[in-house]
Amino acid sequence: MTAAPRRARVAVLISGRGSNMAALLAAAADPGYPAEIALVLSNRADAAGLAHAATQGVPTAVVESRAFRSDRAGFEAAMQAEITRAGATIIALAGFMRVLTEGFTARWEGRMINIHPSLLPAFPGLDTHARALAAGVRLHGCTVHLVSAGVDEGPILAQAAVPVLPDDTEASLAARVLAEEHRLFPAALAWLAAGRVALAGGVARVDGAEAAGGSLVNPLPSAPRLSKG
Ligand code: GRF
């Protein structure tokens, strides 16, 4: 019998619903996936994702950010202790709503990824779908990136684009983007866990990743109409 290849141990950090976390758990349920979820860690005890992780038999922990008030270093030290205890070597931020200090991001440089619901560098921060609608962009989407010190900044690993439709609401657009998040995040985590990500001049390259063919154009250009008379 040959030993199964060692899988990278990942801590998934959440603050709420946890649908992206659930997508990672589902991917990691396949023994051939290069990462295993060693810990789901939340900064809120009421995060819905914690219950789902527990039903999947994944260890969970809570470090209440509220308990630390403005002591961000103390909050992060408590999180780091949980992450170390779990033996995680990669962090996946999956809807984790606290801004991390430079010390923490430097410690995890190249080993921490985030999923963000926009085509970065457009619309960093909150309310991305409402802002995309207000800006009138025709293409919107999501980004997985390595985390650096700035909020929603860092080398991009992958992006998925979706069209913005004329009668979209914030909710309908968010749902279209979220479906892509659930495909993109597990793929990007697998690349990082398998050691396929290389950095050159602040830009990430994924070894062996196939470039998407074609283009997404929205609205579709149509043939010019003949004017009458
Ligand atoms: C997602 O839209 C993610 O891109 C953003 O926060 C949201 C979290 O959703 N960072 P969920 O908790 O994964 O369902």
For residue 18 and ligand 1, the question of a CB distance below 6 A is answered with yes
**Predicted confidence band of residue 158 (pLDDT cuts 50, 70, 90):** very high
Closest Cα to residue 203, out of 145, 159, 150, 149? 145
**Predicted confidence band of residue 223 (pLDDT cuts 50, 70, 90):** confident
Nearest C-alpha to atom 9 of ligand 1 is from which residue? 95
Name the average pLDDT for the chain: 96
pLDDT digits (tens, 9 = 90+) for 39-61: 999 999 999 999 999 999 999 99
For residue 94 and ligand 1, the question of a CB distance below 6 A is answered with yes
Q: Residue 216: what pLDDT?
A: 95
Flag whether the pTM goes above 0.85. Answer: yes
* Mean per-residue pLDDT, 145-156: 97
Whether 3 has a pLDDT exceeding 90, the answer reads no
Look up residue 57 and give its amino acid.
Answer: G
Buried b (16+ CB within 10 A) or exposed e, 147-165: bbeeebbbbbbbbbbbbbe
Handedness of CA 206, 151, 112, 118 (dihedral sign): negative
pLDDT digits (tens, 9 = 90+) for 15-34: 999 999 999 999 999 999 99
Q: Residue 26: what pLDDT?
A: 98
Whether 229 has a pLDDT exceeding 60, the answer reads no
Assign 3-class secondary structure to the chain: CCCCCCCEEEEEEECCCCHHHHHHHHHHCCCCCCEEEEEEEECCCCCHHHHHHHHCCCCEEECCHHHHCCCHHHHHHHHHHHHHHHCCCEEEECCCCCCCCHHHHHHCCCCEEEEECCCCCCCCCCCHHHHHHHHCCCEEEEEEEECCCCCCCCCEEEEEEEECCCCCCHHHHHHHHHHHHHHHHHHHHHHHHCCCEEEECCEEEECCCCCCCCCCCCCCCCCCCCCCC
Q: Which atom of ligand 1 is nearest to the CA of 93?
A: 10
For residue 148 and ligand 1, the question of a CB distance below 6 A is answered with no
pLDDT digits (tens, 9 = 90+) for 116-139: 999 999 999 999 999 999 999 999
Q: Which atom of ligand 1 is nearest to the CA of 19?
A: 14
User: What percent of the chain shows pLDDT beyond 90?
Assistant: 93
